[in-house]
Structure 1
């Protein structure tokens, strides 16, 4: 099976995923994707109205992101993806696509389906800190009123997932250093 590399910067809205992801991609010379840019319009409208997304809303979006990751990584590009990926099931879709069962043999018996190998960087923080950040953010389709629904949905990564958890209370430079040091050990 092909081992493919990508970083997933995950967490609730306002955790700093886009900022951390963009800086990491720049430091590493990797391609950067902000998953928010790939939400279908109906998801954006729903969130703007204060309606939390369901797994049914998220599934096609996550499958599309999986396909983007596979395409780029298969062509030799390393990728940083900033994406909420709040549940283990969401992260599994990013890794394996819609079928989260173990990859099956292709017709050639020699070749297995490629799987995205992710290092998950979970940016975690208290509701109060992240809520304060969201209230300062302007022009985003995700209203601060939906933050509680994200905390309610959040399933932080656990073993055997390949992850590190970093507090949003740290300075950006500290977060970047922790991730870069972790990558050196992988």
Structure 2
């Protein structure tokens, strides 16, 4: 389903939000529906970051910045090869999103067109907490629910950034459909 115009720029859809908002699940489904590659930011964490989080210790900027720079390098490489991608990444603060936006070699700052677009998967804290508790019981993620409050405290949304928002309490298919409707027209990919 990849119908890129070879002369067009590739783009990235970054699904952002706190742990448990559905970035990996929705990201994989969205990428499949759009015929794109899915990148999970968790796969870019060094073992030291994962170990810290598994112990309930929030990451510092010293932990996050090199991780985000590594992701930015991969985005730049993919888009430089004319490959659009879906990325699941918390990207909780504006400064972190700016690092990811700079994967676009033509990006000059907020308010300027950028090929890296953000979609916030938004859900109430209680819903996220229940999801994280379920995941912890299943043993399928390294981050405990105790870090949710630190993530909620970090989450900053600046209206000037033009971040799209989707209700993450909907069914996964409804969320994917909502995102496709929101990004239709932003991409040079056939989203029909």
TM-score range, shorter chain: 0.7 to 0.9
TM-superposed CA distance for 1:36, in Å, is 0.3
Rounded Cα–Cα distance in structure 2 between residues aligned with 1:143 and 1:118: 29
Q: Retained in 2: the 8 A contact 1:6–1:116?
A: no
Q: Deviations over 1:81-113 (max 9, x none)?
A: 00000001111001116xxx948xxxxxxxxxx
* Aligned residues between the structures: 170
Q: Retained in 1: the 8 A contact 2:54–2:142?
A: yes
Which ranges in structure 1 are unaligned for 5 or more consecutive residues? 104-114
State the partner residue of 1:153. 154
SS at match of 2:86: strand
TM-superposed CA distance for 1:167, in Å, is 1.5
1:16 counterpart = 2:25: no
Which of the numbers 74, 79, 83 marks the counterpart of 1:68?
A: 74
Q: Retained in 1: the 8 A contact 2:49–2:63?
A: yes
Which ranges in structure 2 are unaligned for 5 or more consecutive residues? 1-7, 187-192
TM-superposed CA distance for 1:133, in Å, is 0.2
Rounded Cα–Cα distance in structure 2 between residues aligned with 1:130 and 1:63: 27
TM-superposed CA distance for 1:143, in Å, is 0.6
State the partner residue of 1:164. 164
TM-superposed CA distance for 1:158, in Å, is 2.1
Which of the numbers 65, 73, 88 marks the counterpart of 1:59?
A: 65
Give the TM-score taking structure 2 as reference length: 0.83
Structure 1 residue runs of 4+, over 4 Å off? none
RMSD: 1.8
State the partner residue of 2:134. 136
Give the TM-score taking structure 1 as reference length: 0.86
State the partner residue of 2:124. 126
SS at match of 1:12: coil
Which of the numbers 61, 78, 83 marks the counterpart of 1:77?
A: 83
Between Structure 1 and Structure 2, the one with more strand by share is: 1
Rounded Cα–Cα distance in structure 2 between residues aligned with 1:13 and 1:57: 17
SS at match of 1:142: coil
TM-superposed CA distance for 1:153, in Å, is 0.6
TM-superposed CA distance for 1:116, in Å, is 6.0
